[in-house]
Amino acid sequence: MSHQASQDLDPVARLRSFIVEGGHPRGGRLPPERHLTEELGMTRTTLRKALDSLERDGLIWRHVGKGTFISDDAAPNAPSTAMSELGRQLTPFRMMRARLAIEPAIAREAAVNASGEALQRMQRAIDRAKAATTWNEYEIQDDLFHRAVAEASDNLLLLTLFDQLNDVRRAVAWGSVTRETVQPSANHSSFAEHDEIAGAIANRDAGAAYEAMRRHLGSVAKRLFGEV
């Protein structure tokens, strides 16, 4: 685990995602460092550097002897006011249509430009998603996988566009999602779909990467809305 965690290039983003997707409230206390290192697959040194970064941004604060707390006046990785307002105006259906228009093209660019390190980040997210014992753990890794694809495009504008898209996605009112199990089943369709996307990117097959991402998002949309 330590060797694997030492290779992570974006621990700050992973920690942000854990806090946001976990629904931790403003002013709330984060779990102890020991729990966070196990949950996020980081060494304690890597975790503390990520915590330092979020503290410098004013998103968390630490009290010796009491723990680490989420700042009252800023939610980590929270959408900006403009993104929140946009999210409130979008239906989940239109949000998915936007993802279908943008993310396959990002995957195509990733197939052209992905580095070996970018491919490793994708694979770690895939492996951790498959090992997830709760839906929350799975969703964190799912989010990290899609961001890893955007990072693999090696295009700052596309990565920024993806992050803004993700901010809007978080602000959209999705309503309650009923889960029939406590964790994804071994044959959860997204596992094979993520494998297909990553495989196409690793094979430098831009067309296949585009189609694999399109099929994956279409599959997610179909589960939520029927045909999109």
Pick the CATH number of 2-70 from 3.50.50.60, 1.10.10.10, 3.40.50.720, 3.30.365.10: 1.10.10.10
What's the residue count for the chain?
A: 228
Reported as a single tens digit per residue, the pLDDT across 13-56 is: 888 878 876 666 767 788 888 889 888 888 988 998 888 888 77
CA distance 170 to 79: 7
Q: Which residue has the tokens 């993806």?
A: 162
Give the single-character DSSP code of 133.
S
pTM strictly above 0.75: no
> Alpha carbon of 173 to those of 40, 44, 137, 218: distances in Å?
27, 35, 21, 20
Distance CA 92, CA 23 (A): 19
What are 175-184's pLDDT values in tens digits? 545 667 888 8
DSSP letter (8 states) at residue 70: E
Cα 195 from Cα 192, distance rounded (Å): 5
**What is the predicted pLDDT for the residue at 8?**
42
Report the DSSP beta bridge partners of residue 69.
Answer: 29, 61
Query: Is residue 3 scored above 70 in pLDDT?
Result: no
Task: Please state the separation of Cα 219 from the chain's center in Å.
Answer: 18
Pick the CATH number of 81-225 from 1.20.1250.20, 1.10.3720.10, 1.20.120.530, 3.40.50.720: 1.20.120.530
